[in-house]
Amino acid sequence: MVSASDLIVIGVAVDTRMERVVRGPESPWSYTITSIRVSDVIYSNASVDQTIEVNQLGHAEPLPTPTDDQEDREVEYIASTSSTDYLAVGQSYLLFIVQGGGISFFPINPTQGHYTIDSAGNIIAQPGNTVEITIDMLNQVVADISG
């Protein structure tokens, strides 16, 4: 997971929005975009207190009604994750993310791309993720890779 990531951070979700992105006449995609305020940088070159946007395919909430020109070609994408897998405002996360086009980031995959951090600081894997991790383990792997 570490080597597949462009950035590994701990942060708090501060805002979320849904967007429909049309990449061609027959391919609208729905994304949930969450703004994350970085509180700790584990790997790569983000800054503490920087806000980054993390995109997840699908939508956590109903999307607004499409415009007339979108209505004829609307294709609904059902994400493979349940609504509980989307990043929630106010929650802390450990994120394994890759940079997309521009300044947006995407989880390395829906199951292992983010871990919840509870109020006691425990790192909790998402449902279906069998990879358990601690900050000490993660720091050791990063140190090994960085050489």
Closest CA to 109 of 145, 56, 60: 56
- pLDDT at residue 109 greater than cutoff 80: yes
Query: What's the pLDDT band for 138 if we cut at 50, 70, 90?
Result: confident
Average pLDDT over residues 123-133: 90
The structure tokens listed for 11 are: 């942060």
The CA distances from residue 144 to 45, 98, 112, in Å, are 17, 20, 20
Closest CA to 52 of 21, 14, 90, 92: 14
Query: What's the pLDDT band for 97 if we cut at 50, 70, 90?
Result: very high
**Are 16 and 89 spatial neighbours (Cβ–Cβ below 8 Å)?**
yes
**Are 132 and 125 spatial neighbours (Cβ–Cβ below 8 Å)?**
yes
